Amino acid sequence: MYGLCDCNNFYASCERVFRPDLVGRPVVVLSNNDGCIIARSNEAKALGIGMGQPFYQVRPLIEQGQVTVFSANFALYGDLSRRVMATLRSLVPGIEIYSIDEAFFDLRGMAEPLDGFGRTIGRTIRRNVGIPVSIGIAPTKTLAKIASKLAKQYPRLDGCCYMRRPEDIDKVLRKFPLQDVWGIGRRYGRMFDRMGLRTARQFVDLPQEWVRARMGVAGLRTWSELQGVECITFEQMPPRKQQITLSRSFPREIHTLEELDRIVAEFASMCAEKLRGEQSVCAEVQCYLYTNRHREDQPQRCETELRLLPEPTDSSLEIVRQARITLRQLFQPGYGYKKAGVILSRITPASELQGSLFSPLDRGKHARLMDVMDTVNKRLGKGKIVVAAQGTEPFHMNREHLSPRYTTDWKELLVVKAD
């Protein structure tokens, strides 16, 4: 049996932990640059605010004072996520962190039935961290996902849905919307819609060969998992990242190479920092530039360039240098650029680095320098030491509704006023 612990409206719930006055009221969280809605409390959903909806479209509601808005505060969400995971880990034999707000867990050796235990997990996380969660327990991960959605949907389940007997599972599948199944995305959702298939059970009733032919082995796995056949295994150790990327949309369009150069240098430097955090090195740097795809009246360009490095590295200096070279290959004047990104790939463990006899780099020197840079930036705050090409002004994005980093910055601790 597998469990899934899913935080309810995670980002909105994080904001509420430190703003209990907002419990029971509509809350939304915006993407970077305050662009669109990426999280909503139940009350905000009830107002008809859509996931991914552009902020400007819902601005009237907000200006009427009905909805409280927050800019994305990933420092806060990341830290609260760590706390949720730590509590969960203390209660079960093993966990697999699936995303910032979800983890699967192992229930080996636990006495059934397990719904009481599931509720205990939920209550403990709520008490320790302040985040409400939904727990689903079922024979496969795909079914556990369904169970957690039911736990979220039906208050009478008290935060935990436990599905075990085949007849109970079948009853659920007969009602569960096919598009909401884990592994059925927009594309397949539309296909099934055209075919008149609405429920998970109708999908299960399709012949195996049909599923294999139309949806590949991934579709077949979903099909089998819905029938209680375990195909997606439990992985406690997160695999090494194959790709590290950093990209941002700009608050305005950028036309000059000089400006893009500083931005790309900063993105590349931040990627390199993440790379070192993983104890990895990379051998490929990619860069991309996009114009504003929403401006159909303007000439469009969206290009990627990549460079293979002479040897793998984790040095910000080298990665920034290579990213700036690709930028120069990429850049063409005459366009208003709206977004840029840097991607590191061909990632391998730093411990298995294959060096070169003819290395142009002084590895020891770079390593010591990066070590100092990371240590100082960790202790004194992000961006205290940067690569010169980044310039003195860090990348700016709109974050008009940012809450404090209550748990990760001494200067932003919650202030309790004594009235």
Binding site for DNA (CB under 7 A): 31-33, 35-36, 38, 52, 54-56, 59, 98-102, 145, 181-189, 216-218, 239, 241-249, 251-252, 274, 292, 294-295, 338-339, 341, 397
- What is the residue whose two structure tokens read 């004047």? 333
- Give the chain's end-to-end CA distance (angstroms, integer): 51
Work out how close the CB of 219 gets to DNA at its nearest, in angstroms, rounded to a whole number.
8
* Residue with smaller CB distance to DNA, 145 or 201: 145
Angle ∠(160,133,136) on CA atoms, nearest 5: 35
Nearer to DNA, 7 or 121 (CB): 7
The whole-angstrom separation of Cα 74 and Cα 51 is: 18
Question: Which amino acid makes up residue 309?
Answer: L
Residues facing 248 on adjacent strands: 340
For strands 337-349 and 302-313, give the pairing.
Answer: unpaired
To the nearest whole angstrom, how small is the minimum distance from the Cβ of residue 31 to DNA? 3
Nearer to DNA, 59 or 382 (CB): 59
**Which residue in 273, 360, 264 sits closest to 309, CA to CA?**
360
Q: Which is nearer to DNA, 55 or 223 (CB)?
A: 55
**Shortest Cβ 180–DNA spacing (Å):** 8
Nearer to DNA, 174 or 214 (CB): 214
Strand partners, 244: 344
Q: How far is the CB of 112 from DNA (least distance, A)?
A: 26
In 314-417 the beta strands, taken as DSSP E runs, fall at 337-349
Residue 55 or 117 having the CB closest to DNA: 55
Is omega for the bond preceding 113 within 30 degrees of 0, making it cis?
Answer: yes
- CB–CB of 44/26 below 8 Å? yes
User: Residue 280 Cβ, how far from DNA at the closest point, in Å?
Assistant: 11
Q: At its nearest, how many Å lie between DNA and the CB of residue 6? A: 7
Q: How many CA atoms lie within 13 A of 122 on its CB side?
A: 26
Give SS3 for 26: coil
CB of 364 to DNA, least distance (A): 27
Question: In whole angstroms, how close is the CB of 106 to DNA at the nearest point?
Answer: 19
Residue among 117 and 319 whose Cβ is closer to DNA = 319
What distance in Å separates the CA atoms of residue 405 and residue 76, rounded to the nearest whole number? Answer: 5
Output the smallest distance, CB 111 to DNA, in A: 29
| Cα separation, 159 vs 7, whole angstroms | 11
The residue type of 250 is: F
Distance CA 17, CA 418 (A): 20
C-alpha span between 308 and 318 (Å, rounded): 12
For residues 17 and 271, which CB has a smaller minimum distance to DNA in the complex? 271
**CB of residue 341 vs DNA: minimum separation in angstroms?**
6
Shortest CB 95 distance to DNA, Å: 15
Q: 3-state class of 364 per DSSP? A: helix
- Coil/strand/helix, residue 193: helix
Closer to DNA by CB, 293 or 378: give it.
293
Give the nearer residue to DNA in terms of CB position, either 324 or 339: 339
Residue with Cβ nearer DNA (185 or 355)? 185
Q: Please compute, for residue 32, the number of CA atoms within 13 A of its CA located in the half-sphere on the CB side.
A: 12
- C-alpha 199: how far from chain center: 28
If phi over 0 gives left and psi between -120 and 50 gives alpha, with beta otherwise, what is residue 258?
A: alpha
